[in-house]
Chains A and B, each alone.
Chain A
Amino acid sequence: MKLMGDEKVVQVKSEYDIVVARSVVRAIAKDMGFGLVDQTRIATAVSELARNIVMHAGEGVILVREILKGETWGIEILAIDNGPGISDIKLALSDGYSTKGSLGVGLGGAKRLMDEFEMESAPGQGTTIRVRKWLPK
């Protein structure tokens, strides 16, 4: 896996930044050649990741970069926070689970919209979520 070019970082501190984060990521996805449906899938997933940061950690960053695996290009997005962390990742990803009275499909939905989804978290150690989408050839 190669990292191509610079990465963009969006500070996420309030719900206004959610819109910024998804616009930045969408613009990059569009430049890379992702179609309208994929752009919307990616932007929606980022919206959920950013909202997760605001709701559960208060602040964090969304990091986006282009990656290359073999001959396939992809977009990788990391959502990093130093919040309280998640003790039960499987539960957090299950539909209908929400600790904050939201719809409770956020992270599980984001996972379904992307090709790859990884989550690292432990109580008191923050949360890092990595998602990827590969560019169809």
Chain B
Amino acid sequence: MKEIDYEQIPILKIGDFLVTSIQIPLHDKLAVKFQQDLLQKIEKTKAKGLIVDITAIDVVDSFITRILVEIAKMAGLMGVKTVLVGLRPEIAITLVEFGMELGGIKTALDLESALSLLRRCVDEADGSDG
């Protein structure tokens, strides 16, 4: 009998963008699977932007940071801009004191500003193409 995979992070599509919210603690295996799922979804949907919500993450350590930076880099290689949302004040303080770099990932305060940020990015890119 096939085991049901409870450990899955949903990836939703809204317009040209994908939205995902990490609500369970990431570990190595899950992180790798999540990265693969995301890239496949990007390919399938031809999304232009990706929003990753980390409101439910209470600790952003060096491991999670690495995973997030990797996601943004991989998505970037597929032509997709990544915006991180839901970075809480205590997380921001800890990240800076710790000395962790988010490798230039764009961040936004909430989903709405993330969407408008992505729209601007995509419009600019489209404009420079034509």
Are A105 and B99 in touch, CB under 8 angstroms?
Answer: yes
Give the CA-CA distance A39 to B99 in the complex, in Å: 18
Give the CA-CA distance A110 to B63 in the complex, in Å: 13
Give the CA-CA distance A19 to B7 in the complex, in Å: 15
Question: Which of A26, A105, A112 is B62 in contact with, Cβ under 8 Å?
Answer: A105
A47 within 8 Å of B by Cβ? Answer: yes
B2 within 8 Å of A by Cβ? Answer: no
Are B90 and A47 in touch, CB under 8 angstroms?
Answer: no
Q: Show 27 residue pairs from A and B whose CB-CB distance is below 8 angstroms, ordered by the A residue.
A: A19-B25, A26-B58, A37-B89, A37-B90, A40-B58, A40-B91, A40-B94, A41-B93, A41-B94, A41-B97, A43-B58, A43-B59, A44-B59, A47-B61, A47-B63, A48-B61, A51-B61, A51-B62, A103-B62, A103-B63, A105-B99, A105-B100, A106-B61, A108-B99, A109-B62, A109-B100, A113-B94
Report how many A-B pairs have Cβ atoms within 8 Å. Answer: 66
Are A113 and B97 in touch, CB under 8 angstroms?
Answer: yes
Give the CA-CA distance A133 to B61 in the complex, in Å: 18
Are A113 and B61 in touch, CB under 8 angstroms?
Answer: no
Are A44 and B63 in touch, CB under 8 angstroms?
Answer: no
Question: Which of B25, B59, B65, B93 is A103 in contact with, Cβ under 8 Å?
Answer: B65
Residues of A that sit less than 8 Å from B by CB: 15-16, 18-19, 22, 26, 36-37, 39-41, 43-44, 47-48, 51, 95, 102-106, 108-110, 112-113
Are B59 and A47 in touch, CB under 8 angstroms?
Answer: yes
Known A37-B90, A113-B98; 18 more pairs at CB < 8 Å: A15-B27, A15-B28, A16-B27, A19-B27, A36-B90, A37-B89, A40-B58, A40-B91, A40-B94, A43-B58, A44-B94, A47-B59, A51-B63, A102-B63, A103-B65, A103-B66, A108-B99, A112-B98
